[in-house]
Structure 1
Amino acid sequence: MSTSLNRTNWPIAAAMIQYANMLPDGTSVQDQTPEQWAATLAEVTDAGFTEIDPTDSWIRLADLPQSRLAVFADLVKEAGLTMPGLSTARRSVIDPEQADENLAYSHKVIDTAARLGIPEVSFGLFYPLTAPQKAALWFWTAQGTVNPDDPGTWKMAVDRIRELARHAQEVGIGLSLEMYEDTYLGTADSAVRFVQDVDHPSVGINADLGNLVRLHRPVEHWASMMQKVAPFTRYWHVKNYFRTEDATTGMVVTAPAPLEFGVISYRAAIKMALAHGFKSAFLVEHYGGDGLSVSATNREYLRRILPKAG
């Protein structure tokens, strides 16, 4: 990516987490008509976005037939959008039930990104939501599945991510690993150790600190985490949360917040990453309410705090 990025041209993509893959009538986004896809893309452009991440919780591009994939890519172009990144969710390559299937799918994601000219992909080691998580207002307030504290599984994860990294390098794609609670990237220290164990130039950390500061439990201060992961940060999911801690009872309460209002100072966090040469795209996210519109305000906040031209 160009080193002359500044606040006016930095790629800032809309996340599609507010759009479900399964529609209320029981059909899937996978099977929508081009006109229906175009209508959703129009909502993204109406919110002022010029970039989109076709997140696979919304549409699994890697599972589309080639003819349909070409149609989708044409619609994105016609909408005036580009795709600087492609994120996956809950497709862990060490999933106890779907590990091999998810590994094969991840290879397809890399090939799909290369075919569409998408320069970055994001993978994670987090699993599908549990029943209690699905029942909760905010899924992160219920306990999810935990990566096993097992050296053999850690090694399998490292080996499989390195395999994907080699593939990504062959086709000119960067690979970002998403920080997420109770996974091998669930703390800053563990995320750094994991990426160092993978030891591949195509691999970095998706410093999604929002996934951690939202937890109703003690967590490391965001600034300390960011200092540790900043040298490894690439394609970056950004979102924020209100967080309050009662030291007398230990109670922690969090809720989604627009990027500039939450507990993480992204002005400071981005400065840390820029000091280490960060030049990847951002993906703006927000859970709850009109997530797309809040993401649009998050985009404008980033435009105000990113470096000026020249």
Structure 2
Amino acid sequence: MTYTSEDWPIAAALLQFPNTTEDGTSVQDLPAEQWAETLREVVDAGFTEVDLTDGWLRPGDLSPARLAEFKDVLREVGLTAPAISAIRRSVIDPVDGDDNLAYSHRTLDAAAALGVPLVSVGLHRPLTEQQRSVLWFWTVPGPQDPVGDQETWDRAVSRLRELADHAAGLGVQLSLEMYEDTYLGTADSAVALLTDIDRDNVGLNPDLGNLLRMQRPIEPWESMVAKTLPHANYWHVKNYYRAEDPATGAVFTTPAPLESGFMNYRKAVRYAVEHGFQGAFCVEHYGGDGLSVSATNREYLRRILPRRSAG
């Protein structure tokens, strides 16, 4: 189908919601009504769609009975989920890659059980202790995929292809989230990895905000958009203020609302739509009342997306 500004699915991320309660109880173990309380906040912010970001709750680790409860909760509060985003579960993590692969398979099964049409995965790994200790984690370098290591690249291709084939059997799409210092960390590398995987149900999640915020030189965002958006089947969108000092080479970045940051999303979205993008959006924002800023981002997207044609 062809979406317009009125009905384009725009989901809230769940980045603002922790995976444990104040008393240390895991969200996995909460009664369904407490899940509903959290999701009603998303509804109260004006959303009808939600990205099931697994930093809050992991659908892939719910029992069949609890997964059915969760499906009922989504229906009860009036939310649909265009995607599950599996975060920091790299299938080539040198320590946890095997476990992450198994978890990703379980997440695909959970998506099918919930009626979620897409799972977004990436190659980024958990934050380091140093990254967790600073205000903005991206100001400290994190784990990096080994550059020029053909064996590791081939393992990424093989394991992501394995997930794609499983997803295809379930009628689910797979999306690859771009993230700095991974094999999905530049436009060229992301497209090359997608090409090597070579599966029709796999596309890119060009989360270019993850690259805009790097405090070092970056490829022009217009170039990244042109290379990646024609391959996109889902899109995490967020923006950053970016200041560069040419005298010293210092770069400073901080989160920004979608319409006022460094990247011109009006231009990027127009390009994406003109090149066939019909995936859902997921609006994200770090810091402050991120859910409310995400709601503002949603309304900005509604203003710039194509309107329903007359007649």
Deviation at 1:23, TM superposition (A): 2.4
1:140-161 deviation line (CA, Å, top 9, x unaligned): 0011000112110000000110
Q: Which residues of 2 match residues 219-238 of structure 1 at below 5 A?
A: 219-238=218-237
Runs of 4+ in 1 over 4 A off after TM superposition: none
Equivalent residue number for residue 266 of structure 1? 265
Partner of 2:304: 305
Name stretches of at least 5 consecutive residues in structure 2 with no aligned partner: none
The percent of aligned pairs where both chains have the same amino acid is: 60
Q: State the SS of the aligned residue for 1:175.
A: strand
Matches within 5 A, 1:116-155: 116-149=114-147, 150-155=149-154
Instruction: Tell me the CA shift for residue 270 of structure 1.
Output: 1.2
Aligned to 1:71, the other structure's residue is in SS state helix
Aligned to 1:101: 99
Alignment deviations for residues 158-189 of structure 1 (CA, whole Å, 9 cap, x no partner) = 01101111111111111110110000010111
The aligned residue for residue 284 of structure 1 is 283
SS in 1 for 2:286: coil
Give 1:26 shift. 1.2
What amino acid maps onto 2:53 in structure 1? T
Partner SS, residue 158 of structure 2: helix
Instruction: Determine helix, strand or coil for the equivalent of 2:176.
Output: strand
Q: Which amino acid aligns with 1:104?
A: A
Q: Secondary structure at the match of 1:308?
A: coil
CA distance in 2, matches of 1:14, 1:230: 20
CA displacement at 1:22 relative to structure 2 = 2.2
Residue 24 of structure 1 deviates from its aligned partner by 2.4
DSSP-derived class of the 1:84 partner: strand
* TM-score under structure 1 length normalisation: 0.98
Aligned length: 308
TM-superposed CA distance for 1:282, in Å, is: 0.4
Q: Which amino acid aligns with 1:286?
A: H
CA distance in 1, matches of 2:119, 2:268: 21
Cα distance per residue 1:8-30 (max 9 Å; x no partner): 10000010011111222111111
Q: Which amino acid aligns with 2:254?
A: A
- After superposition, the C-alpha distances for 1:119-145 in whole angstroms (9 at most, x for unaligned) are 111000000100110001000001100
Cα root mean square deviation, aligned: 0.8
Q: How does 1:1-310 map to 2 (within 5 A)?
A: 2-3=1-2, 5-149=3-147, 150-310=149-309
Q: Following the alignment from structure 2 to structure 1, what is the Cα–Cα distance between the partners of residues 97 and 275?
A: 34
Letter matched to residue 95 of structure 1: D
Structure 1 gaps, min length 5:
none
